Structure 1
Amino acid sequence: MATYEKQHRIVSIKSTKPQLHKRMLRNWQLYLLLTPTLFYFLVFKYYPMYGLQIAFKDYLPSLGIWGSEWVGWDHFVRFFQSYQFWEIIENTLLLSVYELAVGFPLPIILALMLNMLISTKYRRFIQTIVYAPHFISVVVLVGILFVFLSPSSGLMNHLIVLFGGEPINFMASPEWFKTLYVLSGVWQGTGFAAIIYLAALAGVDPSLHEAAVMDGASKFKRVLHIDIPAIMPVSIIMLILALGNLMNLGFEKALLMQTPLNKESSNIIATYVYEVGIQQAQYSFGTAVGLFNSVINLILLVTVNQIARKVSENSLW
């Protein structure tokens, strides 16, 4: 009898549940709003995956993808045995870790500082200043670097000479490439990246700060015990995304900053793929290197997400 009632209840629930097409018709506006995004990912993200098979073939445009000869792992073995392999991996990892170590905590610090400002006008003024560099294109940014760091007419070298130093050709020095890449990125992106953390801080209950002030807590203690715990879930998610994207550096910026004299430091996976895949028309080899880079990023993303899920309650999935 109990089993019959249970089955009857399940059937009743299923019968009252709206069917899929009815739900779609009822919420057609939401699905219509979602359509451009789905179309974008299908065309520009999923459809290009069809071409990944040329990483395992000796691709010739005249024969097409299906007509080209299957070579298996030959291109990957060739890349692993290349004399440039360790140099490219080292440059990519060092630059990525450098950028993450410097660029990740700064937006959090900036957001905490802006959140503690009392004057609304002053806060808006500071936000406008730190947001503005984000809207400068990468080409213009690199052009500014070349002008300001010019060994003959650059402002930076004029200051160095003024204080008794010798001019430095920053853009041609391998030892300066990573620092210039990271610091220019910090100047351009820190303000805009802080928006996410400011949005998280806006959700903090003001009564918590009022109670802390009544208890005599300083601003530093309020930040330490109220603001930081409030943005910790967002920070963990952003850290997972950053680590999962560790090997994907800004290709355009690295390529524009690259010169024959600093190539030993600026030659990363992205620029190497462009060089061999596009300039030298080695499409299969370039695809193999790019696929290797993507697989490493996927492994990092899954690993970091699993660690974050075990250590804390926050994760992507």
Structure 2
Amino acid sequence: MTAPAALLLLVFHYIPTLGNIVAFKDYDQWSGDTAVEAILNSPWIGFTNFAELFRDSQFWDALRNTLAITTFQLVFFFPLPIALAILLNSVVSRRLRSFIQTVVYLPHFFSWVLVVTFFVQMLGGAGLLAQTLRDNGVQPWDVMTDPDVFIVLVSTESLWKDVGWGTIVFLAALTAIDQSLYEAAASDGANRWRRLWHVTLPGLRPVVILLLILQLGNSLSVGFEQFILQRDAVGRQAAEVLDTYVYYLGLVTQDYGVGAAAGLFKAAIGLVLILIANRLAHRFGEQGVFVRS
């Protein structure tokens, strides 16, 4: 059953990872009949591509935007699936709980094209909100083209799309908590909030720490399609992130060496963040992603 997933990772992840060698070469796509021959025939230049990358002011703009967006989403978005899972778990009616879960899960299956289109129709200059404000004599504010609130906009889009899907793991973790702990706490006089603080949250802590570690490891990959769709509307200064920077530099301008260097730099930083977060998890007595040898 795991063979298709393993094959998918092998073909589309591990084999292409070997192409990171381009970051250390002066890659010339015409130096061979195939991509492999072109890579092998291209001369080694060491860390020259990385030096060129770090001299590019657009790279630092993209890195700054990426870190700002991922920090904002980590602080304001990461706790929401936990809160939603706790609220759903407290709904007594199974039918009502299933209905709410279906409603909040559904946007996860929408493409980013559809999600961005929905927000444009609602919040854009010609959208429903703007038309309603004009009808009432109020000058509308086009949120979709304002670079000053772009970080809030993309976080809201991600929240609407994925907050329901993010509750699945936490709902499963809630069902694994021993119900006798709640009964013992209630018999000791603990109210609902104290049971939440002393039973529910400690029961969720291992899952929260694990997902937080994975989130930190993926923190520099805030998304590609969502940003490429809105980049022209708000401008490069606000919407350029590392994923779009690698795309424009590596594929559009065909500067493959520097583009590969940017991608490799992002992966290396993600690995370092995972190792640091995993070490902190061990300090707090949790297993983390992997145990210490």
**What's 1:269 paired with?**
242
Determine if contact 1:171/1:259 at 8 Å carries over to the other structure. no
**What's 1:77 paired with?**
51
Q: TM-score scaled by structure 2? A: 0.92
Determine if contact 1:173/1:262 at 8 Å carries over to the other structure. no
**What's 1:14 paired with?**
none
Determine if contact 2:150/2:234 at 8 Å carries over to the other structure. no
Measured in 2, the distance between the counterparts of 1:293 and 1:92 equals: 11
SS of 1:90 mapped into structure 2: helix
- Indicate whether 1:56 and 2:30 are aligned: no
Question: Residue by residue, what CA displacement relative to the aligned partner does 1:166-189 show, whole Å, maximum 9, x if unpaired?
Answer: 222222211121111001101111
Measured in 2, the distance between the counterparts of 1:202 and 1:51 equals: 43
Q: If you compute each CA radius of gyration, which structure gives the higher value, 1 or 2?
A: 1
Q: TM-score scaled by structure 1? A: 0.85
Residues 158-169 of structure 1: pairs in structure 2 closer than 5 A: 158-161=131-134, 165-169=138-142
Determine if contact 2:144/2:233 at 8 Å carries over to the other structure. no
- Indicate whether 1:296 and 2:264 are aligned: no
RMSD: 1.6
- Deviation, structure 1 residue 164: 5.2
Measured in 2, the distance between the counterparts of 1:225 and 1:260 equals: 47
* Identity across matched positions, percent: 37
SS of 2:84 mapped into structure 1: helix
Question: Residue by residue, what CA displacement relative to the aligned partner does 1:98-128 show, whole Å, maximum 9, x if unpaired?
Answer: 1111111000011111111222222122111
Aligned length: 284
- Indicate whether 1:93 and 2:71 are aligned: no
1:122 to 96, 112, 122: 96
Tell me the amino acid that sits aligned with residue 59 of structure 2. Answer: F
Measured in 1, the distance between the counterparts of 2:50 and 2:284 equals: 35
Structure 1 unmatched runs, 5+: 1-32
2:9 to 13, 18, 41: 41
**What's 1:107 paired with?**
81
Tell me the amino acid that sits aligned with residue 198 of structure 2. Answer: H
Measured in 2, the distance between the counterparts of 1:260 and 1:159 equals: 22
**What's 1:212 paired with?**
185
- Deviation, structure 1 residue 287: 0.8
- Deviation, structure 1 residue 262: 2.7
2:110 to 115, 136, 141: 136
Structure 2 unmatched runs, 5+: 32-37
- Deviation, structure 1 residue 90: 0.9
1:155 to 122, 128, 131: 128
- Indicate whether 1:284 and 2:252 are aligned: no
Question: Residue by residue, what CA displacement relative to the aligned partner does 1:135-182 show, whole Å, maximum 9, x if unpaired?
Answer: 11111101112222221x211223444565422222221112111100
**Aligned CA distance change for structure 1 residues 84 and 225 (closer, same or farther; 3 Å):** same
Measured in 2, the distance between the counterparts of 1:148 and 1:233 equals: 39
Measured in 2, the distance between the counterparts of 1:161 and 1:133 equals: 29
